[in-house]
Amino acid sequence: MKEKNIARFNWSIVVSCFFTLALVYGVWYSFSIFFVSLLKEFGWSRSVGAGAFSLFIIVSSIISPFVGSMVSSAHPHRVLIGGSLLLGAGLTLCSFTRTWWHFYLSFSFITASGLGAAGWVPNITLIQRWFKEKRGMAMGIVSAGIGIGILICVPSIQYLIIQVGWRMAYRIMAVFIPLVVIFLATLFLRQPPPSPSHQIEVEIPLKTGRDPLVIDEEWASRSWTVRKAMATRAFWLLTLAFLLGSFIIQSVFAHQVAFFMDCGLEPLPASYIVGIVGVVSIGSKILWGIMADQRGREMIYTIGITCTLLGLLSLILYSQMPVSSFPYFYALFFGSGYAVQAALPPLIIADFFEGQAYGEIFGTLMVFVGVGGAAGAWFAGFLYDRTGSYLPVFMIMIACAVISCLNVWKASPRKVRSVPGKLHP
């Protein structure tokens, strides 16, 4: 490929990954819609229903290191095509659910495996390999695709469920999503990504042979592997930080529709609130990605955590005083806070562990993050079943948010690599 065409090709990959994540994560975030329908039809407890989502997160996370390694060493389009086909098979089987274990098998294992192979880790690994100086912007745009999925897919799926039922909604998704993902992967992703040594530098010329972004040259010069990364304090500080962030996000996302219905909202208006969260997250992810390249990772992560806290406070107030504006405050603040959990972790991990093994390292960390999200979704249902309220859940989430923020500051990505915006103060 001629060098003059590389930049254009890079951004076509961003477009492909953007729409792929929008569709694939429409499956993830529509669970809160199907959750209500499943509880109504089968009479499951909320902990049993949420347990399916928890296992879904764990399974999709467990395969992440293998998927990240495959994307780095094989043709990415084959990985995404295979994942989308598996996703479609799982969704088809979901539509035939008769008992709780049917749903666990089809959704929590088969659908989850397909999503893991076509979702976050493979797409983010691709972006990390194709971009360097504008990595924050690229990852922000790609992760904003998930917001599009929340905005469009969740209300659309709720409408489908109302019109044709939840079983037919699953069948429509099982056909439509794999077809689009396969088309995008075939069209844009047949070109294998460059090796780290051949990445194109366009923003900051290296006049001296030394990367001007590097602060800790000894750290940045290491040839990282998963084992070496896991032997560092930074890896575990970031693991706990992002695990707790996922614990918060997935517990709220899995139960938000049920929470709003408990407070008196009808299903369709509740799904609109979820859609607004998606709208807010779209712009926020791009904004956080760009600002993280200008102001630094820790500062932007802190702003995102502050938004998360304000979103949780809005839910607490709404549970006590059903003022109509509180759900919209929740959507604004929590959507912004959720966005930082999507946009910042890939950048921070790249700051510490850039190189050939990035996909495998990031995938390994995402296993722990997935465990956090799974625990959050299940724990919220478990605690609700015991107390009859989501208020204790929200209070625990607030403490988790504070700890998450402190751990990112302790890890200190700014001490390993600077960001482009701080090279010329």
**Confidence (pLDDT) at 209:** 52
199-239 pLDDT, tens digit each: 444 444 444 456 677 888 889 888 899 999 999 999 999 99
The pLDDT of residue 197 is: 44
Separation of first and last alpha carbons in the chain: 36
pLDDT of residue 79: 84
pLDDT score recorded for residue 6: 46
- The reported pLDDT for the residue numbered 10 is 67
**CATH level 3 topology of 8-193+211-420:** Growth Hormone; Chain: A; (1.20.1250)
| Sign of the dihedral through C-alpha 109, 115, 121, 122 | positive
Q: Residue 57's closest CA among 17, 116, 3?
A: 116
Retrieve residue 183's tokens: 């088309």
Task: Name the strand (E) or helix (H) holding 149.
Answer: none
Q: Given this model, what pLDDT does residue 423 score?
A: 57
Tokens representing 323 are: 């003022």
Is the pTM above the cut of 0.85?
no
SS3 label, residue 417: strand
Residue 191 confidence (pLDDT): 63
pLDDT tens across 241-293, in order? 999 999 999 899 888 888 888 888 887 788 788 878 878 888 888 888 888 88
Q: What's the confidence (pLDDT) of residue 273?
A: 87
Show the DSSP H helices in 296-390 as ranges.
Answer: 297-320, 326-353, 358-387
Beta-carbon neighbour count of residue 129 at 10 Å?
22
3-state secondary structure of 214: strand
E strand or H helix that includes residue 196? none
pLDDT along the chain (425 residues), means of 10: 50 82 87 85 84 87 82 74 93 93 94 90 76 70 78 82 92 94 81 51 46 82 90 95 94 86 83 82 85 89 96 94 89 93 89 84 88 88 89 94 97 87 56
Q: With beta carbons less than 8 A apart as the criterion, state whether 245 and 399 touch.
A: no
